[in-house]
Structure 1
């Protein structure tokens, strides 16, 4: 059955109700139809109707159902033709629009540890279908591991070109991860780094992160990955009160050095207006002292500690040695990453990283899906 077949129309004072062949109904307000009429699409030299110029009480003179839905408006002498398939695709149904186009595949480490999304970088360069599969995994699972990436400084910037562009930060186009004599950050030591996201002190956090291993011959130093959205959903299931505290109580994150001071106040669990989880801002390294109502402080700490323990649960953590030539590509607003402690006097650990944008990754995936998925 072709669902986008109109069988019946009913006009009211301010809207048009359409009945489809499958029995479902959609309501389209006249002002919305007038605003989105096909001839309103902008093309150079023709101009366009601007939404705020349309009368609120705009009404059609005539509505005719042929192969298209034809509308003649009182304020315009033209007849506008609406393709039923377009109307079906653009019917404004909030309960459907809020569903993700490609549902996330939330995970615990124990469920996917034997089936990690691992790809050969040279194959991604030469095979667009493999590239599509890899980007789909990053979209769905939040991460992928690329192998056989040339062990050359700056190579991480080249890998970004598979799908997008480098996003510069206070670190520049890329940053080095290795021990320093006088470290200003935990990442530049041999110590364990707890699960965290990068840049929660920015209003717009980095949304994609890449970490490339150039040398990794130390004992220890395994990389860790946790699905933050899975853990947030799990917290909501087992302790709704704790979830609500972390999703509604703003806290401050701050980064400062000789050249920059960055600060942002936001919630540890981020949700949209439908209460769907959109990301996490968990970073115990740069979080500032909590300024919360005294009567709320103990409960907030309990929720914060509970969520923190979940990020450290071995059942939730992927622990993997990022061998030289391997690269982690992940969604920074979803995947918390960390590092195990390593012995500083045996071997060397040198990684380079950079940031990019999920918008560009999603755009490249959409283009490849259009090419390969009919």
Structure 2
């Protein structure tokens, strides 16, 4: 753990404050893996995550019952897991006028399922290839106006539907309950699938750490690491050999590397005639990597092979926390940065010669207005500004307001990577930079980096979660 770093408690203001419990971050990863291992559904997970430091209605305190879980050996993770409770159906009936099948559960709850959706998702071998979890039924063969002949609960507590053409669909109650159309059930399932809740932080964050060898060898440790990286945006792995090739080993634990114009992996060193500002000893302002690509890499790994003699400290900013501040303090600037497209370019030669061009909003938001990606690198922001004259000055005012927030000391975490440390972080969320540095001729600062896509990382997270559930 970085010197001077202490763990945190959460307050009602969603700020992270230091407390005298230096061991607590050792258990941080377990704290996020534990609820993921407790249920095959997301109900418990969502309750825990919504209680943490994301702003708005979901904000609150971390439940104290989870603060003492220890990560070492992941023994507590296994012992804390429980099989999902079995869903029991009390009654099922067809509501012909509403075109719904209503299921009454043993606990007294009700769920309703549209006829068309049930027919479309029949799980029989004629309609679904179970080995691939893929739909065989063609849209041209789906009667979206089909009614229902009979609905009954079978002796083994499944819901059986006979359609007018005498085709029979049988649904497992756990499968149905998970796909309930109620607002609460849909929200819970989406959180389980995509893990969109985040923990916002400021300069008081102590960066979560995990053991490199455990992550490579133990599924519980790997799952805990990926869950924490998804939630916090950053985890530092300790104990890796300080030699080239370790970031590639870590990537192979997940899936495969993202090849870019800088290669499968890349060496961050002070280079003559550098083709990237990172390959100099100059200060780098905080940024996200590669907005010159139309689809920037989602995750970045960077390992310190040799630290600088002086300087070179890493600086990290939670971009989602800062955009939240911007929206609150300067809504006009937030609106500009979420609506105006900005040109980026990257020109040079490395893995091959390249001339990249892209257009992004500095802040990308989803259909619900939630920030899901930051696209900002001042070094590769193009001099071409595709805006009408009257929007130029407001744009500069907005981007200056955003960068001023990034530079506030209370928003910046500074740390020094030591030999072997691997920083793993969310490149869509985290803005990272470094101080200028001085190297000696016989000890030049050297980092090795690699990229992955979030698709690959989330795939491995789901596979690990299923594997751990199965084993537990």
Same fold (TM over 0.5): yes
1:159 deviates by 2.0
1:326 deviates by 0.9
1:348 deviates by 1.9
| Alignment partner of 1:287 is 2:287 | no
Instruction: Provide the residue aligned with 1:369 in structure 2.
Output: 465
Cα 1:6–1:303, aligned 2, differ >3 Å: closer, same or farther?
Answer: farther
CA offsets per residue over residues 143-181 of structure 1, 9 Å max, x none? Answer: 111122212222221121222211111111111111112
Higher relative contact order at CA 8 Å, sep ≥6: structure 1 or structure 2?
A: 1
Q: 2:409 aligns with which of 311, 314, 321?
A: 314
Q: RMSD between aligned alpha carbons?
A: 2.6
Matches of 2:360 and 2:436 in 1, distance apart? Answer: 30
Instruction: Provide the residue aligned with 1:261 in structure 2.
Output: 355
Moved more, 342-351 or 90-99: 90-99
- Counterparts of 1:192-211 in structure 2, within 5 Å, are 192-211=283-302
Instruction: Provide the residue aligned with 1:106 in structure 2.
Output: 199
Cα 1:323–1:344, aligned 2, differ >3 Å: closer, same or farther?
Answer: same
CA offsets per residue over residues 79-107 of structure 1, 9 Å max, x none? Answer: 21122322221123567545533453433
CA offsets per residue over residues 328-365 of structure 1, 9 Å max, x none? Answer: 11111111111111125575211111112222322333
Instruction: Provide the residue aligned with 2:142 in structure 1.
Output: 54
Matches of 1:302 and 1:238 in 2, distance apart? Answer: 14
Q: Are the counterparts in 2 of residues 108 and 317 from structure 1 also a CA contact under 8 Å? A: no
Matches of 1:340 and 1:97 in 2, distance apart? Answer: 45
TM-score normalised per structure 1: 0.89
TM-score normalised per structure 2: 0.72
Moved more, 362-371 or 162-171: 362-371
- Counterparts of 1:71-150 in structure 2, within 5 Å, are 71-74=161-164, 76-93=165-182, 97=186, 100-101=191-192, 102=195, 104-113=197-206, 116-150=207-241
Q: Are the counterparts in 2 of residues 4 and 88 from structure 1 also a CA contact under 8 Å? A: no
Instruction: Provide the residue aligned with 2:445 in structure 1.
Output: 349
1:297 deviates by 2.8
Matches of 1:317 and 1:199 in 2, distance apart? Answer: 21
Instruction: Provide the residue aligned with 2:310 in structure 1.
Output: 219
CA offsets per residue over residues 12-33 of structure 1, 9 Å max, x none? Answer: 3462052544665544322211
Instruction: Provide the residue aligned with 1:68 in structure 2.
Output: 158
Instruction: Provide the residue aligned with 1:244 in structure 2.
Output: 335
1:36 deviates by 0.4
Structure 2: which 5+ runs fail to align? 1-84
CA offsets per residue over residues 90-138 of structure 1, 9 Å max, x none? Answer: 123567545533453433333323xx21122123334332222222211
Question: Helix, strand or coil for the counterpart of 1:230?
Answer: helix
1:193 deviates by 0.6
Q: Are the counterparts in 2 of residues 199 and 206 from structure 1 also a CA contact under 8 Å? A: yes
Matches of 2:428 and 2:182 in 1, distance apart? Answer: 27
Q: 1:42 aligns with which of 121, 129, 134?
A: 129
Structure 1: which 5+ runs fail to align? none
